[in-house]
Amino acid sequence: MKEDIAKCLETLQNGGLILYPTDTVWGIGCDATNADAVKKVYALKNREDSKALICLVANDAMLERTVEQVPEVAWDIIDLATKPTTIIYDNPKGVAKNLIAADNSLAIRIASDDFCKNLIQRFKKPIVSTSANISGGPTPSQFSEIDHRILEGVDYVVNLHREKTNPSPSSIIKLGNDGTVKVIRE
């Protein structure tokens, strides 16, 4: 794991893209604060930049640094969730502008996977996490299903967990600072 983390850190610091196992599906990642890197993710996925991406943080403190306000209900959702849960927050800060949705929101998940947590803690910044597929295509449930264009389009591919099958993406919940809660994906 140490070698993979070192190579990922180098790639992320240089504005590159990584392909890595997350707490859900295999993901394409980059420095969430680097607009050029975020642009590369949209280009690789052949996805419009109006469709927002998910961002991973390592812990509660990093979450609090990434949004203006974490609604109180978010802590309950995070504590009670039985599977990885992504929450869409209003008023993100400190991330690339092209990562923020048109309504000034950002989807963020606190990583639960040891590799991701370790990587993000060492990187000290949030990283993008979007499924490793071409936009509109199926989300791969395991490494062997990842499209060759994705494999060739990233700068570093993590060697861990290539045999792992994890077919389910995270739940997604949108929280408004006004107290509204909306389930986007269960």
Domain residue ranges in the chain: 2-185
CA distance 158 to 113: 14
Tracing tokens 């109006």 back to the chain, one arrives at 50
- Please report, as a single letter, which amino acid is at residue 82: T
Token pair recorded at residue 125: 């910044």
Q: Is the pLDDT assigned to residue 166 strictly greater than 70?
A: no
DSSP H or E stretch at residue 86 = strand 85-90
Q: With beta carbons less than 8 A apart as the criterion, state whether 127 and 110 touch.
A: no
Q: Residue 13's pLDDT is what? A: 98
Token pair recorded at residue 127: 């990283």
pLDDT band at 50 (very low <50, low <70, confident <90, very high): low
State the DSSP code for 144.
Answer: G
Q: What is the pTM of this model?
A: 0.92
Q: Is the pLDDT assigned to residue 82 strictly greater than 90?
A: no
CATH of 2-185, one of 3.30.200.20, 3.40.50.720, 3.30.300.30, 3.90.870.10: 3.90.870.10
Token pair recorded at residue 182: 């909306």
